[in-house]
Amino acid sequence: MTEAELIPIWISLKTAGTATLITFILGIAAARWMAYGDFKGKNLLDGLFILPLVLPPTVLGFGLLLIFGKNGPLGQLLLYFDKTVIFSWSATVIASTVVAFPLMYQATRAAFEQIQPNLEDAARTLGAKEWTVFWKISMPLAWPGIAAGTILAFARSLGEFGATLMLAGNIPGRTQTAPLAIYFAVEAGRSDQALKWVLAILLISFASIIALNYWKSRQYSSWRNGQPVVKEVVIDAGYRN
């Protein structure tokens, strides 16, 4: 693969990496807020968070164009600071983040909700501040779900096509991610070229899933798979003397 051929792969990795990082933080924050909070309009907000998952990417891309375009609310705000995001690398990140967010949010929220409330309460009676409860109890216990959400979010960002094309366009060297490059190579009849990128994406996706799976299972296998190894002895030595 020549250096020029590597560029779309590099853009894809950069985009997916950045989008996953943003989704990771926003997804956990939103999930934590929705799993523990109780307020009016919670279901409505939940629907809004999940929406990008069920919308066609082109609809999403069009919506994002309306929001970030010259006349859109965020577009206007950015113009005020003399910036535009349409057809820039940032646009690929925005599109990927929006489509990946629901996957991260859903997996993480489910993971928080299946934690026994007694565990968090126990930590509170033992003097833990809410922040400590979150970091020492909720996060580690929700970890398998969070890791699964992260894998899915990364994979989804890496494969993002429709919304990216609409919001960021297909500018080689700037916004042309691997999925876009593959599409336009096939369209131009350069199938051998497309195959190289297909193999590269296949490799990255598969490797990242294997790596994250390994990382996830390593950390907590000791307690997750823990079986009672000893039965209680009826009378311990030294008891009742």
Size of the site for another protein (CB under 8 A): 31
Residue 221 Cα to chain centre, angstroms: 23
Which residues, including other chains, have CB under 8 Å from residue 171's CB and lie 6 or more apart?
87
Residue placing its CB nearer to another protein in the complex, 128 or 171? 128
* Rg of the chain, C-alpha, whole Å: 23
Query: CB 33 → another protein: shortest distance, Å?
Result: 20
Using CB under 8 A, pick the residue from 1, 56, 79, 121 that binds another protein: 121
As a whole number of angstroms, the distance between CA 180 and CA 169 comes to 9
Residue placing its CB nearer to another protein in the complex, 43 or 227? 227
As a whole number of angstroms, the distance between CA 36 and CA 121 comes to 13
Using CB under 8 A, pick the residue from 4, 44, 54, 234 that binds another protein: 234
Query: CB 120 → another protein: shortest distance, Å?
Result: 9
From residue 122 to residue 161, the character string flagging contacts with another protein as x (rule: CB under 8 A) and all else as - is xxxxxxxx------xx--xx--------------------
Using rule CB under 8 A, residue 239 touches another protein: yes
Buried b (16+ CB within 10 A) or exposed e, 70-107: eebeebeebeeeeeebbebbbbbbbbbbbbbbbbbbbb
**Burial class of residue 152 (count of CB atoms within 10 Å of its CB; 0-12, 13-18, 19+):** buried
Query: CB 138 → another protein: shortest distance, Å?
Result: 11
Cβ-contact 161, 95 below 8 angstroms: no
Using rule CB under 8 A, residue 241 touches another protein: no
Which residues, including other chains, have CB under 8 Å from residue 204's CB and lie 6 or more apart?
9, 13, 158
Residue placing its CB nearer to another protein in the complex, 17 or 144? 144
Residues 181-220 that bind another protein (CB under 8 A): 220
Residue placing its CB nearer to another protein in the complex, 54 or 240? 240
Among the listed ranges 89-97, 175-183, 186-194, 225-233, the one in contact with another protein (CB under 8 A) is 225-233
User: Which residues of the chain form contacts with another protein (CB under 8 A)?
Assistant: 116, 118-119, 121-129, 136-137, 140-141, 220, 222-224, 226-232, 234, 236, 238-239
